[in-house]
Structure 1
Amino acid sequence: MLAVGDGGSAARGELERLRLLHRDATGRDGLERLVRRVARELGATAVLLDPRRRVLHAFPEEPPGPVLRSITAGVERMLTGGARSLAIDAGSERVWAFALGPEPASPVLVVVGEQAGSAAHGPFLDDALRLLRLCWENWAGRRRAGRLDRADRAVREAVLHMLMVGQQQAAHQTASALGHALPESVRVAVVEAASGIREVLAARLAEATRGRAWIVRCPVYSGHLIALVPADGRDDERVPFGELFSPSDRISVGASRTAHLHQVPAAYRQAFHALARARTGPRWQATFRPDTDLAAVVGCRGRRWAEGVLAPLTGHRPRRPQDPTAEELRATLRSWLAFHRHAARQLKIHRNTLAARIDKIEGLLGQDLHGLAGRAGTDLALRLLDAVGEEPADDDRWDDLGAILAASAVRAWANRFLRPLVQAPSGVLDTARVWIENGTHLESTAAVLGISVPAVRKRLHRAEEALERSLLRSPSACYDLHFAFRADAQRS
């Protein structure tokens, strides 16, 4: 029970100061608020130095340079000698330093002013130092956790990048360094959500898969989450983790079919196109339909043609050690074909470096990689090299692009691919055709059709809905659309 009179008033004052200290300590900026509280209570300047003796917080202002250097030198002498507090004179100022812990690398609270040494303020300083220590440990722990989380994210993104450019062995080794083994078969999913809930969805997915899913924040599209989920042996229309999300999350989920690790680039495209179907369809999730993919129809029968197209790149040997290797050029080519102008961001290289590499690749392959036809043919060749299946008999090989497009299976595919556009509202099919004929340039398409660019975009959005594939965002289905029109022209 508190005493009556002055003693009771003093006790209530101590309790109020302690309450205010605790209130400051529990705030988001607890360290800064506590430093301010000490300075105001003592009528002095308070400075918090981190373990490297840099000023973390100061109030009302940071001491002048000469005074601060004198303080820092005194603090080093104090900690070297094993003392936990020290009073020194820095010019005309009286300075008190208090280590927040027993370790030599502890942060230090510095108070410039006579009041710090007053016995009357001893209890207040003891309470403030204990709370500063707790706040520091919490703050430092969160910073360490943040650095670890950023490092983990960076490594996961690097592993996905390695898989996307065909470096499976390096991806396995890097993942193992994190203590995670990559599965041999996965389903790739692309989750599109507002950036504000992306972290919540990532945490939910990681927990539900017990950390088995390889989750990456997309480096190209800020609203996308990419997940490599171990295949469960099924390859049906159900998204493998669809039960984790609901329409109320306001998201869209596209998933690939089951794929081996070396097929991750193709699986990512599948998931990206399935996302277009999920975004515009009656459901919020979708799985890619392989019957719409030209590379899946051609399969291993076009491998010999693909190998011939890419042979100059595959066999390239750099003249100088600093020149890009064949593997680096191939990775650049994959990214360019998939993301085009976003490739530099995906590869994390300068756009001038990207342009120089594309020029080099064009020279090796003899292809115009800025034109749609050149990009489409090269992209198909790369996808066919990823095809899995039995080696076809010699009489079942398609040794050139003309033979591929003339094959009955490809003509039937083209008919299936274009049928939704034929059945779409008036103008959608013609707009898609003119858009392809003009190299996917919106302005040229609008000029030919005599309509505005926004009108072209609107019709192409309808084409995306009909095809259930992405056209305007990369990776785009414009390459398959290009070949569908060519094969259909041969059929007719």
Structure 2
Amino acid sequence: MSDPRGRRADDVLAMHRSARRGGTRSLLRWLAGRTGVRVLLIATDGTVLAEEGGTGTAGHTELARSGAEELRSRGLGSLTLDGESGTALLVSLNGTRKHSAPALAAVTPRPVPDGLARLLSDVASALDLCWTSEQTERQLRRLELAEVRNREAVLHLLMNGHVATARQIADVLEPALPDVIRYLVAEAPPRLRHALAHRCAELAPGAWVVPCPVYEDHVLVLAPSAPGAGAEEASALASAVAGTPGDVTVGVSEAVPLRDAATGYAQAFHALVTARSRTDRWATFACRPDPALVLGPTAREWAAQVLAPLRTYFARRPQDPDSAELAVTATSWLAFSSQATTYLKIHRNTLSARLRLMEDLLSLDLDRLADQSLLALALRADSGPRARPAGPGTVGDTAPRSLDDLLARPAAVEWARNLLRPVEALSPATGLGHTLDAWLRNDARLAPTATELSLSTTAVRKRLTRVEELLGRSLLRAPSDRHDLWLAKRALHLTDAARQCAAIPG
């Protein structure tokens, strides 16, 4: 004859082992196997949170739900309810929370097996601990997700130039946003990103740390930069982050004002390209002037002409995007391509509709790299410094009528030569310059480029990767430098064409 007390002790040990292995689900699975009946965990509103064992019928589930409702309404700790489909035995997971805690239910044909009620009572005690622990973990994850989303919102505001609003929200979330920042992009396997974010926060007190909303292997860090701090400040931080366990790579921007956070991000992203090929796995941005800054206020006057239809656009319906929202969408798409949907948290059809509207307003074809580059330069230049009014009796600089007029200026040509020098200096035998030309000519698409060059897409990708290393800029992964490269190539083409025309007699 078996010892009931010994059997119960064995059951208690077995249920605790199951709980440690897999929590609520594992414990319910053990209970179903031990009793051979259908077991359910039911919320106070009747929702079946989990179920295991038995074939089960709709009648069994409804009987268990009816029992849970009766248990809750009467404030009972346990209940037995008979029905046509069998008998339901229910136990509230916690007697002190009868009105909020879920109930453990077992539905069995009659007669009810001996000892089932006592076993349910024993399991409910262990199950309550598992459920409470899992609920706490879920709440912590929700809080962490809310924190991340709030920080992403601040990041969006900064990237779109809304610095004052970003500061107001950041002051609540803490830490406060610094006036001058160094932007770091830390790259690691996605499974390590959570730990990397915590490590970055430890290494850079006062920094704004956000998991990248676009790339799941990136952590973004807006680290405060002290006035007058040199490159040593960035080197120490980047080296420490890159030394985090795991395959971590870090790109660092120059020290930039908070209002130029978007520029800092682009710089850090391009520095990441250089960092991947270095043994110490970090790199700072190799300084190169932005074409909008090189061309100065003249570019802004040109941009004002180009963007006039957009700036004067009014949405017909309240739910339609206005001109500011269209500009933000275009800027994000030019930076992140199709991944702008993730960045902006919009559907791809919404993105497509907004881009088509932009095309109609500005008479552009955004499938063409040439028009993308024009729009990218116009949007950057439009946020640059305004030209000072010309004084009395002075002759102002005439605003260029077209993009070609702007790119033909000496400052633009010099900028283009400096940008392309690492590639132009190569021997034609390497094929890198020819590949870059073909890639830009084919709107930065790999497949058409490979067809034109009679190469595989893999071979084209390898050559462009080598060009990335030479230029220290990202080409194949957004944000890409393809727009600046197209503008530079166009500037040099216009110069060569003008030189050839000047060389023709008469």
Q: Indicate the residue corresponding to 1:348 in structure 2.
A: 345
* Deviations 1:33-75 (CA, angstroms, capped at 9, x unpaired): 3223434445544322123322233332374323432332333
1:318 counterpart residue number: 315
Which whole-Å CA distance do the structure 1 matches of 2:187 and 2:85 have between them? Answer: 62
Q: Does 1:457 align with 2:461?
A: yes
Counterpart of 1:20 (choices 14, 22, 28) is 14
Q: Is the 8 A contact 1:47 1:62 kept in 2?
A: no
Q: Deviations over 1:202-254 (max 9, x none)?
A: 222234345742312332x3333333333344352735443123286323221
Amino acid at match of 2:489: F
**Aligned residue in 2 for 1:61:** 54
Distance (Å, rounded) in 1 between the aligned partners of 2:452 and 2:131: 66
For 1:293 and 1:224, locate their aligned partners in 2 and report how far apart those are by CA, in whole Å: 24
Q: Which residue of 2 aligns with 1:399?
A: 399
Which range moves more in the overlay, 411-420 or 160-169?
160-169
Residue 465 of structure 1, CA deviation: 1.1
Aligned to 2:439: 435
How much is the aligned-residue C-alpha RMSD, in angstroms? 3.3
Structure 2 residue matching 1:75: 3-state secondary structure: helix
Taking structure 1 as reference, are residues 88 and 295 closer, same or farther at Cα in structure 2, changes over 3 Å only?
A: same
What's the offset of the Cα at 1:326?
Answer: 0.5
Listed as ranges, the matches of 1:281-292 within 5 Å are: 281-291=278-288
Which one is further off, 192-201 or 204-213?
204-213
Structure 2: how far apart are the matches of 1:209 and 1:453?
41
Q: CA shift at 1:421, angstroms? A: 0.6
Q: Report what 1:336 is aligned to.
A: 333
Query: Secondary structure in 2 aligned to 1:380?
Result: helix
TM-fit CA distance, 1:97:
1.5
C-alpha change, 1:226 and 1:125, in structure 2 (3 Å) is: same
Note closer, same or farther for the CA distance 1:389–1:206 as it changes in structure 2 (3 Å cut). Answer: farther
Q: Pick which of 323-332 and 176-185 moved more.
A: 176-185
In structure 2, the CA distance between the partners of 1:350 and 1:121, relative to structure 1 (3 Å rule), is closer
Offset at 1:99? 0.8
User: How many residues get paired?
Assistant: 483
Letter in 2 for 1:106: A
Q: Which residue of 471, 476, 488 maps to 1:472?
A: 476
Which residue of the partner structure matches residue 204 of structure 1?
A: 199
Equivalence for 1:156 = 151
Q: Is the CA contact (8 Å cut-off) linking 1:281 and 1:465 kept in structure 2?
A: no
Partner SS state of residue 21, structure 2: coil
TM-score (norm 1): 0.86
Structure 2: gaps of 5 or more residues:
500-506
From 131, 138, 159, the counterpart of 1:136: 131
CA–CA separation in structure 1 for the residues paired with 2:30 and 2:421: 73
Contact 1:424 1:466 in 2 (8 A): no
Written as runs of structure 1 = structure 2, the 5 A alignment for 1:71-150 is 71-91=64-84, 93-101=86-94, 102-103=96-97, 104-113=99-108, 124-150=119-145
Query: Would the aligned equivalents of 1:67 and 1:91 in 2 still touch at CA under 8 Å?
Result: no
Distance 2:157 2:484 in 1: 25
What secondary structure is seen at the aligned counterpart in 1 of 2:39? strand
Paired amino acid for 2:216? S
| Equivalent of 2:491 in 465, 487, 492 | 487
Query: Does the aligned pair in 1 maintain the 2:88–2:107 contact within 8 Å?
Result: yes
Deviates more, 1:100-109 or 1:342-351: 342-351
Secondary structure of 1:324 counterpart: coil
Q: 1:11 to 1:42 in 2, by over 3 A?
A: same
Q: Which residue identity lines up with residue 424 of structure 1 in the other structure?
A: L
Which whole-Å CA distance do the structure 2 matches of 1:198 and 1:125 have between them? 41
Separation in 1, partners of 2:111, 2:264: 69
**Aligned partners of 2:151 and 2:210 also within 8 Å:** yes
C-alpha distance in 1, partners of 2:368/2:417? 25
Check 1:397–1:271 CA distance in 2 against 1; reply closer, same or farther (3 A cut). farther
The alpha carbon displacement at 1:330 in A equals 0.4
User: In 2, Cα distance between the equivalents of 1:40 and 1:441?
Assistant: 58
Residue from 286, 292, 304 that aligns with 2:301: 304
Contact 2:36 2:54 in 1 (8 A): no
1:179: how far off?
A: 5.3
TM-score of the pair, normalised by structure 2: 0.83
Alpha-carbon distance between aligned partners in 2 of 1:315 and 1:281, rounded to the nearest angstrom: 48
CA contact (8 A) 2:42 2:48 kept: yes
Deviates more, 1:434-443 or 1:275-284: 434-443
Residue type of the partner of 2:425? Q
- Cα deviation, 1:323-346, whole Å, max 9, x if unaligned, reads 320011101211222223333343
Go from structure 1 to structure 2 and tell me whether the alpha carbon gap of 1:313 and 1:290 turns closer, same or farther (over 3 Å shift): farther
Distance 2:477 2:348 in 1: 19
Counterpart check, 1:410 vs 2:412: yes
1:362 has 2:366 as partner = no
Aligned residue identity for 1:366:
S
CA distance in 2, matches of 1:483, 1:252: 30
1:31 and 2:24 are equivalent in the alignment: yes
1:379 positional shift:
1.0
How many angstroms apart in 2 are the aligned matches of 1:206 and 1:392? 46
2 CA distance for matches of 1:78 and 1:216?
A: 44
Residue type of the alignment partner of 1:483:
L
Secondary structure of 1:256 counterpart: strand
Q: Work out whether residues 180 and 255 of structure 2, in 8 Å CA contact, stay in contact via their aligned partners in 1.
A: yes
> Secondary structure of the equivalent of 2:288?
helix
1:171-191 alpha-carbon deviations (Å, 9 max, x no partner)? 445545645543343332222
Q: Which residue of 1 aligns with 2:210?
A: 215
Q: In structure 2, what is the equivalent of residue 3 of structure 1? A: none
CA spacing shift, 1:407–1:247, aligned 2, 3 Å: farther
- For residue 112 of structure 1, report the CA deviation from its aligned partner: 3.1
Identity of aligned residues (%): 35
> What per-residue deviation string (whole Å, max 9, x for no partner) do you get for residues 106-127 of structure 1?
1111233478795x67765543
Aligned amino acid, residue 356 of structure 1: A
Separation in 2, partners of 1:279, 1:286 = 9
1:399 alignment partner AA: A
- Secondary structure of the residue that 2:82 maps to in structure 1? strand
**In 1, distance between residues paired with 2:37 and 2:349?**
55
The letter for the 2-side match of 1:85 is S
Q: What SS does the aligned partner of 1:249 have? A: coil
1:85 Cα deviation from its structure 2 partner = 1.3
Equivalent residue, structure 1, for 2:44: 51
Name the residue aligned to 1:424. Answer: 426
Q: Paired residue for 1:231?
A: 225
Deviations 1:331-368 (A, max 9, x none): 12112222233333433333333333223222322333
Residue 293 of structure 1 pairs with residue 322 of structure 2: no
Name the amino acid aligned to 1:251.
Answer: V
Instruction: Specify the code of the residue in structure 2 equivalent to 1:412.
Output: E
Q: Structure 1's 453 and 58: CA in aligned 2 closer, same or farther, altered over 3 A? A: closer
